[in-house]
Amino acid sequence: MTTADVEGRDLQRHRKNDDVAESLPHHVAVIMDGNSRWARARGMPTSAGHAALQPALEETVRLSCARGIRVLTAFAFSHQNWDRPKEEVDFCMAVYNRFIQDNVAQFLREGIRLRVIGDCSRLPTYLQKTAQNAEEETSSNSQLDLMLAIGYSGRTDILQACGKLARKVHSKLLRPEDIDESLFADELQTSWTDEFPCPDLLIRTSGELRLSNFLLWQSAYSELFFTDTLWPDFGEAEYLQALMSFQSRDRRFGKRKL
For the cut 70, the answer to whether the pLDDT of residue 13 exceeds it is no
For the cut 70, the answer to whether the pLDDT of residue 31 exceeds it is yes
What is the torsional sign of CA 146, 149, 155, 157? negative
Structural domains in the chain, CATH included, are 25-153+190-202+237-247 (3.40.1180.10)
For the cut 60, the answer to whether the pLDDT of residue 171 exceeds it is yes
- What separation, in Å, do the N-terminal and C-terminal C-alpha atoms of the chain show? 41
Averaged pLDDT, 32-37: 98
Confidence category of residue 18, pLDDT binned at 50, 70, 90 = very low
40-59 pLDDT, tens digit each:
999 999 999 999 999 999 99
Confidence category of residue 9, pLDDT binned at 50, 70, 90 = low
Averaged pLDDT, 97-121: 98
pTM for the structure as a whole: 0.90
pLDDT at residue number 16: 44
For the cut 60, the answer to whether the pLDDT of residue 78 exceeds it is yes
Where are any strands of DSSP class E within the chain? Answer: 27-31, 71-78, 112-117, 144-152, 201-204, 223-226
Say whether 211 sits in a helix, a strand or coil. Answer: coil
- What b/e readout covers 122-135, taking b as 16+ CB neighbours within 10 angstroms? ebeeebeebbeebb
Averaged pLDDT, 171-184: 97
Computed over every residue of the chain, the mean pLDDT equals 92
Q: Which amino acid is at 142?
A: S
Tell me, yes or no, if 33 is annotated catalytic. Answer: yes
**Which entry of 5, 33, 119, 178 is annotated as an active-site residue?**
33
Confidence category of residue 199, pLDDT binned at 50, 70, 90 = very high
212-221 pLDDT, tens digit each:
999 999 999 9
